Structure 1
Amino acid sequence: MLTVSPYLVKRCKQHFHHLQQYGIDLILGCNGFIWVGEHVETKDNMVEDEPIKPPNKSQTTLKEQEYTYTPLKTRQNICRVANAIRVLSTLGFSITLDVIQEVVDLSSSKGLNIHEMLTAEFSVLVAEREAERISSSTSTRRKR
């Protein structure tokens, strides 16, 4: 979970996002709380075949342990998205799904490690890219 200034999170129709290409879920809360985590398949809890039993730690099966394991690639994607949000928050840019994906794609295209996303050099790259995006969107509005 990350916390950013609430004014940075733009209000939109959908705040729950499944980023399929990264295998993660993202929740952008208007209150400034942002959750990034592994995608979890939802189940219908209305139909239960077995009565609920209290969990017994010593009887955890191998199959149950597999469900709690998060693959390395997914954990790296979670960290990469979280760092993208941190950079955007530090720069004071609006945080939307599209902007987050652009920052993640920028870091991947530059071949940066996850920890290198928090450097000043990468922040400058993000600021330049955002300035280009804003100027191109305003120039297309003027042409209309």
Structure 2
Amino acid sequence: LSTGQLITVTPYLVKRQKQHFHHLEQYGIDLIIGCNGFIWVGEHVEVRDDMVEDQVSQSDPQVLIPNKNSVSLEEQEKNYTALETRKYICRAANAVRVLSTLGFIITLEIIKGVIDLSLSTNLEIHDMLGSEFCVLVAEKEAERRSSNKKKR
């Protein structure tokens, strides 16, 4: 949990979809939107085959139990998250919080829209939780909904 944030929202705000695991390439983050209201925003993790790694680690006869308080430099570098990625994680998490506060349905497209809105207005990350930005998000959502009705 050190490379991301877990946000809990009311489950009825999460729209059921076929895909719950999302990789936002433009931001370098992963997003897991659970129907139970748990939403994980974290650094992108490459998918790898754990079976191969387990077989390699089992064949190693020496098993060292590290001290829990000591963290090697290699482990710190492996767990390092770039500042830009951490900013995008916070921005995405705040987008979910804003949508939850407003009571809007939470989908990937709407989260991306809120992130893009915050970037286009050059808003600081902590200012996303302010009332001015909530009003701006509500106005954009109203525009989006009215344009969807016109298409039908």
TM-score (norm 1): 0.91
Q: Could you say what secondary structure the match of 2:138 adopts?
A: helix
What amino acid is the match of 1:49? V
Q: Does 1:113 align with 2:118?
A: no
Distance of aligned partners of 1:11 and 1:54 in 2 relative to their CA distance in 1, 3 Å threshold: farther
Q: Does 1:56 align with 2:66?
A: yes
> What's the CA shift string for 1:44-65, capped at 9, x where partnerless?
1112323363541487543332
Higher deviation after alignment, 21-30 or 47-56: 47-56
Root-mean-square deviation (Å): 1.6
What amino acid is the match of 1:100? I
Q: Does 1:80 align with 2:84?
A: no
Distance of aligned partners of 1:82 and 1:59 in 2 relative to their CA distance in 1, 3 Å threshold: closer
What amino acid is the match of 1:94? I
TM-score (norm 2): 0.86
> What's the CA shift string for 1:30-55, capped at 9, x where partnerless?
01111111111122111232336354
Counterparts of 1:55 and 1:135 in 2: how far apart (Å)? 60
Alignment match of 2:19 (pick from 14, 17, 21): 14
Gaps of 5+ in 2: 1-5
Higher RCO by CA contacts (8 Å cutoff, separation 6 or greater): 2
Gaps of 5+ in 1: none
In the TM superposition, 1:22-61 aligns within 5 A as 22-47=27-52, 48-51=55-58, 53-57=63-67, 60-61=71-72
> Partner residue of 2:142?
131
Distance of aligned partners of 1:39 and 1:55 in 2 relative to their CA distance in 1, 3 Å threshold: farther
What amino acid is the match of 1:77? Y
> Partner residue of 1:90?
101
Counterparts of 2:92 and 2:129 in 1: how far apart (Å)? 12
Q: Percent identity?
A: 63
Q: Could you say what secondary structure the match of 1:14 adopts?
A: coil
What amino acid is the match of 1:9? V
> Partner residue of 1:99?
110
> What's the CA shift string for 1:78-129, capped at 9, x where partnerless?
0000000000000011100000000000000000000010010000000000
